[in-house]
Structure 1
């Protein structure tokens, strides 16, 4: 589990650096561009994350095919090909939706000037969705076939190119025109397409990956696999929307309370998001390992893979929780000077929120890895409802009540996030514990014969 999970976790952390680099360069353009970019990345990033759930389920199908051991070449090739089709279609839909970015910003009550700048930025950034989703499919493919370090290498190259592209196109360096925010959006698209080319080159350079010929007859459809990916992936997408929507709504609530509270919230959430990338990588590994044993009908293997992932994911989050409790100022040094007088109010709120974040670290890691393990069992519909109900009923209700009807205000909103995570993690781990009784684990042929004799 560790061998498969660490490259995926590293790739997740590096991917966050790609987005951070864009923000760093745009911040130098002024307050309005930075505000517009922050809103744009919040919208585009949440939808992109959701779409990766739709296409990323190909890893479960590949792992199950490898576990069965029959017709592997055909199944892996067709599943991956249809996932690539789905990436292009969903990416195109997202790109067209981003053309209405300004209208969405105005609908949420943002300033007209900021909305206009964000709309122009999203109209260009949206076209990066297609190569980003293709990269997600190819990442799932190489990881399921035992080459997760390729994902780390590709995103590492993208980090370097994102910095170079922003430097050249935002400010007009290296002989390129100064395009400002538009230059950053173009750099994002170029960086994403570079990732696609890097994956293709790595796949053709590796004998095992090349043997499946996933790019052969790319025009030939297999609608059964296409439908299967949608049936399994759509609930994952809605699960991500439920979680991402709740956390994004917290930012809008904080904005209604006050600027220092919003600043402290942003800092604390950034640290929590960085920590989350590790259990998220473990969850991706769990989907592959559990999916392999699901395909082979090995209930014992399923249990070992799932519990190993849960131990690794929650164990790491226990470490980050301790850091948030006992060294919050050290962590905040990554973003600001905590001792600067002008940051005093914001830092005070950030430290208070980090204490709550320390509590939900364990539950966040637990729900992520439990969900990943259940996806390996191709169980996505019920976990979707667990997430929707857990986040948006007790979670949102607690946020609204404590945040606006009690003196807790921002702290109450964070307690609401914790409540949502507790309910969701409890529901998902209960389903994992009851997987046998719920019929989620396939019965091995030998066990079927024993039952028949009995």
Structure 2
């Protein structure tokens, strides 16, 4: 539960930006959608190294190997920082890149303004991910919730001040949203560092922080890079969808941003279940306990499926009300945004079911440190099947935004089936042999 709530709190930071920028200006909303997508897909690649820390630390902790816990976490931090520094360079040409791929020049200009500030958030955000993975693997999840929840609340107040110019602050619009996100990420790093040093001194986490450990680094890299590329494949699928939606027009792109935010909000619960499944699978792996691995997998998938069914019903029944939350009642283009947004929200009801199942399978596979083959399966499902279906349905067949989202559902459904087969048909036996 703390993992689920902390994921919701983390997402609240992003959804706050979307809601407030939607109230501020539709063009700013479209720009934050495309800019946020670009930031996210680069971030999740580096986050693969952080996510590799969870199963490796969980297995080491089950074996009472405190030294290995420290080494794995330290090398996860190294790899994350190296990646975070290197990936910032292309973002200084955001506007030119977006115009080259067919985005509206006004949207591209605002997106560049946002990213020139937000990019400095990359390294701190990756450090936060490593520390959260370390703490989750050791089942210290309450601090993750409190730190992330506090950051989400602070983000609301900073956004309100800087986007609109309230409480004597300057009106910075999209710049204010970027500054708010950067500030709360820096504060999150400090909170998690202080907690780790004070509550878990036995691991001496930052002892010899500059000392390299090639074997452990190689292991973290070997488990982490497929996780990062799998996340890139999925995140890239949604980024490509955002680009194609931009080809249709600013209104569909803004509606897509709203639908993605709502789907992403509910998806955070599935992520929490998946993270818990990774920890339990990692500990079962450390004990070579096949029964615990099977029971944990069945329980996590069943809980995720029940939640997906419930949220699907809510999306269908309250589609118009949910979309309306993101749009100023006096916005001249409100009716057009509602029409497109409602159709996408109804499709996302089906989306919830397949997306939840595929992320649960990925979490269980990561727990048993099986990441390379699942990366291939997921990437083919997303890009070999899902994206072509989206393009064909949206453009040649003329179904527009709804067709684009239907293609995403097809790709995620194939991923859910193949990844589930990989876990139950192969990984369980291999992990406990």
What TM-score, normalized by structure 2, do the two folds share? 0.91
Partner of 1:152: 145
Partner of 1:442: 432
Partner of 2:130: 137
CA change 1:269–1:145 in 2 (3 A) is same
Matches within 5 A, 1:1-400: 6-24=1-19, 26=21, 30=25, 32-69=27-64, 72-170=65-163, 181-206=174-199, 209-336=200-327, 343-400=334-391
The size of the alignment, in residue pairs, is 433
**Mapped contact 1:59–1:141 kept (Cα < 8 A):** yes
Aligned-partner Cα distance in 2 for 1:264–1:25:
15
Larger radius of gyration: 1
CA change 1:178–1:133 in 2 (3 A) is same
Of 292-301 and 345-354, more deviation after overlay is shown by 345-354
Query: Which secondary structure state, in structure 1, belongs to the residue aligned with residue 207 of structure 2?
Result: coil
Partner of 1:431: 422
**Mapped contact 1:162–1:188 kept (Cα < 8 A):** yes
Partner of 1:450: none
Aligned-partner Cα distance in 1 for 2:106–2:253:
21
Aligned-partner Cα distance in 2 for 1:27–1:350:
13
Partner of 1:448: none
Partner of 2:411: 420
**Mapped contact 1:379–1:440 kept (Cα < 8 A):** no
Alpha-carbon displacement from aligned partner over 1:284-326 (angstroms, at most 9, x marks no partner): 1111110011111111111111111111111111111121233
Aligned-partner Cα distance in 1 for 2:218–2:340:
47
**Mapped contact 2:19–2:326 kept (Cα < 8 A):** no
CA change 1:260–1:152 in 2 (3 A) is same
Aligned-partner Cα distance in 2 for 1:169–1:267:
22
Deviation, 1:361, is 1.2
Of 369-378 and 250-259, more deviation after overlay is shown by 250-259
Query: Which secondary structure state, in structure 1, belongs to the residue aligned with residue 103 of structure 2?
Result: coil
Partner of 2:400: 409
CA change 1:32–1:394 in 2 (3 A) is closer
Aligned-partner Cα distance in 1 for 2:30–2:254:
13
CA change 1:150–1:23 in 2 (3 A) is same
Deviation, 1:166, is 3.6
Partner of 1:449: none
**Mapped contact 1:394–1:419 kept (Cα < 8 A):** yes
Partner of 1:452: none
Aligned-partner Cα distance in 2 for 1:237–1:412:
28
Deviation, 1:225, is 1.5
**Mapped contact 1:96–1:126 kept (Cα < 8 A):** no
Alpha-carbon displacement from aligned partner over 1:325-384 (angstroms, at most 9, x marks no partner): 333234334334899996444433333333322222111100001100000010001111
Deviation, 1:121, is 3.0
Query: Which secondary structure state, in structure 2, belongs to the residue aligned with residue 57 of structure 1?
Result: helix
- Unaligned ranges ≥5, structure 1: 1-5, 444-454
- Unaligned ranges ≥5, structure 2: none
Deviation, 1:264, is 3.9
Aligned-partner Cα distance in 1 for 2:174–2:322:
29
Of 413-422 and 160-169, more deviation after overlay is shown by 160-169
Deviation, 1:235, is 0.9
CA change 1:337–1:246 in 2 (3 A) is same
Deviation, 1:34, is 4.1
**Mapped contact 2:233–2:378 kept (Cα < 8 A):** yes
Alpha-carbon displacement from aligned partner over 1:158-177 (angstroms, at most 9, x marks no partner): 11332343455556666766
**Mapped contact 2:30–2:253 kept (Cα < 8 A):** no
